[in-house]
Amino acid sequence: MGQKLNISRDDIARALRIYWKHAWPKQMGVCPALPDWSDLTLAEILKRFADESETSPHACHRYVLRLGNYLYPHMKFAVEQCVCDGDYYFLADCHDNALAPQTSDIEGWKELRSRNYSIKLAIESEWKKAELPTFLTASKRATGTFKRPDLTSKRILVIDDEPANCALTGAMLRAEGFGIESVNSGTEALDRANQQKPDLIVTDYEMPGMTGREVAEKFRSNEETREIPILICTYADVTEDDLRPADALLRRPFSQEDLKSTVARLLKGKARLE
């Protein structure tokens, strides 16, 4: 992997035990066996993971195990690199997009997503109590490392229901000189854009109430905002075709360099989806 990591083999073992406690509680019945990697090195353990890192020269690393939970087979245990070299953290990825809702049972699908998210929060909350690195702690460290240069005239609206994502993305963009406004939902974004039109929108894809794609559709249907370039950021296994009418897709976890170059292309009117 090239650089010294801030996590150890023992950290992965502790994080997995906590994941198992909440994802596969004994009282719910059949529970798969917890992996025993006590004889393996950290590098050997990570080779057991699927490497979902992007291929760009500046991409952050992402290693995952699809371990599921007692409700849902697609939840992932992830080890991800934050924007700072060598700063890795653990993430319980709901991977909700793996199961498309059936129109006949939309309420059941919403209930499953809610319970799935509750499991994620329980896992990550106990990781934090155990002083294991999570995205929240890693993003707070990273946010403080970015300098704030003189602002340009360009304004970017960041939309994400996760405050840590908003803060980190905003910090990376401020470091490039952009003026940043952050909101936590598509509805807030529409209200804000009507008051003062941004030069670019950076939105999460999977959000309650209104997805990033639905946000893009709303902006495109409004004469006043239809020309604003839109970048969607996501863990979801989707393609650029799935995200039209947005203009670009950036997969998480992304580096500052990849965010910077994508934003620069969009502000120049290049590399937009046709």
pLDDT tens digits, 206-263 = 888 888 999 999 999 998 898 999 999 998 888 877 888 999 999 999 988 999 999 9
pLDDT score recorded for residue 5: 80
Q: How many CB atoms lie within 10 A of CB 105?
A: 11
Please report which confidence band the pLDDT of residue 98 belongs to, taking 50, 70 and 90 as the band edges.
Answer: low
Q: Say if residue 148 is exposed, middle or buried (CB neighbours under 10 Å; 0-12, 13-18, 19+).
A: exposed
Fold assignment, 146-267: Rossmann fold (3.40.50)
Residues 104-132: tens digit of each pLDDT: 677 887 788 889 989 999 999 999 999 99
Q: 76-81 and 88-93 as β-strands: parallel, antiparallel, unpaired?
A: antiparallel
More confidently predicted of 194 and 88: 88
pLDDT tens, position by position, 53-95: 988 888 899 999 999 999 999 999 999 998 867 789 999 998 7
- Please say if the pLDDT value at position 32 is more than 80: yes
Q: Quick check: 175 pLDDT over 60?
A: yes
Which residue ranges make up each domain of the chain? 9-138, 146-267
What global pTM score does this model have? 0.78
Contact between 90 and 81 under an 8 Å Cβ cutoff? The reply is: no
Contacts of 89 (CB under 8 A, 6+ apart): 7, 79, 80, 82, 133, 134, 135, 137, 138
Backbone angles phi, psi at 106, to 5 degrees: -65, -35
What's residue 19's pLDDT? 97
pLDDT of residue 268: 87
Q: Is 140 helix (H, G, I), strand (E, B) or coil?
A: helix
Peptide bond into 163 cis (omega under 30): no
Give the pLDDT of residue 273: 40
Extract the tokens encoding 138. Answer: 């890693």
